[in-house]
Structure 1
Amino acid sequence: MYLYNFFFTRFFDVLMSHFETDTCSPLPPLELLWKSLTDSIECSIVVIDRSYRIQFINRFEGGWVAADMLGRNVFDFVQPSSVEYSQTMIESVFQTGQACAFDIESFDAPNHPTTVYSVRAVPIQISGAVVSVVVTLIDTRLAQAAESLQRESQQNLQKLLTLHDRERQLISYEIHDGLAQYLAGAAMQLEAFDHACRPHSKSILTDSFHFLEEGLRLVGASVDESRRLVSGMRPLSLDELGIISAVEILVDEARIDIPHVEYSWSEGILRFCPGLETTVFRIVQESLTNIRKHSDAHRASVRLERRGDSDLAIIVTDDGIGFDLTAVAANHFGIEGICQRAKIYGREALITSSIGKGSRVEVVLPFIPDTRNEQQSQII
């Protein structure tokens, strides 16, 4: 009882020092506060004494009733294979006064599956001596289930994006091979008519040629617009030239506004899955667009880099005026688009910048090999 009075009193003093002010009402009684806190926490909380006996437990997910566990040796509820290791870890807390973390398998009640817990043990000290240890146990199945659900969601999203990318690709081919070709053919016919008729036209028709010129202009604009739509859906350069050359085209376009743009890539980067190629292309495209529009940079660099067997890094830097990340507007779709594309693959975009010191965009994505040739061979 002395131990609990001490522990609860210290617990209460800390809470009171933080929360009891002139503008706050007094906290509830200590026992009620402690019970509410331990009941509201999803993990199991166990307090054990120097003899490893359970002094307090809020709940246990292994099928045991918490009240029946009080006073018993905590290792009665640990799988025999985990007892020696877990006892060594708990004893080290008593001996050193240092917290530790480890995993154990519980000895669950009949008809309950064995559970693996992630454990953290923290000492309770009185006058410099460890008198008890507070142990928190988190059922790893919950974390594993959450991770599995997140992976499944990401995989489903990637499948949807791949399907969406293929549909956009088919539409772009339809525009390129159909509408754009018809428009280009119409433009050629009108130009041929213009060249054939103009030298022999009578004065009465001369004033009508401006209608033909306007028609040619509109057809030309339609051809340009169809090409822009094709590029927006999925750049044909990705399919025709591959990611290395497609990014090189972006770099060449950026050199119109940025005097010096370096481009490099590591060996082993040839082709990878279409969805990933599109993501890499768009991240580089958006990064270079931001530099061209906002940075007033003289130098920039783009690098595609393999990191081990599993990752691909995109790194874009510039020496421009930089910006304050905290002041970037929420509707700055360029940076937001880069971040969202990284999240699709379960990764984060690392964007660093400061006023007058340029900026750096680094995105590390999982490398997904190209399986298109394998799929085609299976179809054949």
Structure 2
Amino acid sequence: MKDTTASGAELGAARLLLARMGISPAELLEAAVARPQAPTFAEYVPVVAAAVTAGTRRAYGSYWKRVVERWGQRRLDEPTPSEIEQLAEHVKTHVVARRNARGGRSAAEHLIAALRCLYRRAVADGFIAAADNPALKVAKPRRLPSMRRAVADTRLAEIYEVAASTGDDPALDSLLLRLHTETACRRGGALALRPADLDPDQCLILLREKADTMRWQPVSPTLMRYLLRHAEERGATEAGQLLRYRNGQPITRRRYDYLWARIGEHLPWVYVQQISTHWLRHTTLTWVERNFGYAIARAYAGHSENGGDVGTTATYVKATLQEIAGALSALTNEPHPLS
């Protein structure tokens, strides 16, 4: 390999040239790394919050608020990795105690992720060098395995029965449960659904979920009829949110909180195990994987084809929309136009 280290003669020649130009080596180095003064956290957090997606703001907003509370008047280039670790430990030990808490690990992980997002923007904006990013020098806590799993058929039937026979709007709650069970969609996908996203002829709905992903997902003819009737009866406009209360107001994530709290009052095991809508996603995808294989389950879930955990083979075994519709048809015991 060729030696690229400058010789003493070459360094002397460079110094002589700089001297004749009236430039010192220190001035040259200073000019090379000159950057605008870094803003304070109080100044920069609103800038980043305005630039990211609504989902990112929702995930990191509370952690940015804590950073501003602690370091609001400090500049971005002041905190060290050790100080970030100290703040993460503080957040971990002062997390709000909940029944499903796991020692504050998730809070510490989210704080570091929120700071990494903040500093990525600061690097892009030229306030700090990539090599000086302190958040990248702090390791996230190891994520513990999820405690969610598939719900047994008999237990799922109990959940459906309670949802359909209690509460102030059983029709809405039953529709929510069927939508999530058939499609394995996330809450965000359901809340973003519009009448314009329904294709009744092919029994498809357009799901828009996290990371701005979009996909067409098959649904049964029965669910499509329920969705169309719900939109018509509750006054949903073509470009407006589909899922609504009886008074025509769009539902929010609070409806899910109310639904599962109510089910937990009637079914103690739901309360004890902290069953939520995401358990329905686990249930459906587990069934699809067991009966139709990994490739179809992956497509059914809407997971990115660029995920780094599946290997090169996934490039060649992509499931088709017709195969997803076939799995749905078997799940619901209804024929589908595409299967």
Q: TM-score, normalised by structure 1?
A: 0.19
Greater relative CO (CA pairs within 8 A, separation 6+):
2
User: More strand per residue: 1 or 2?
Assistant: 1
User: More helix per residue: 1 or 2?
Assistant: 2
Larger Rg: 1
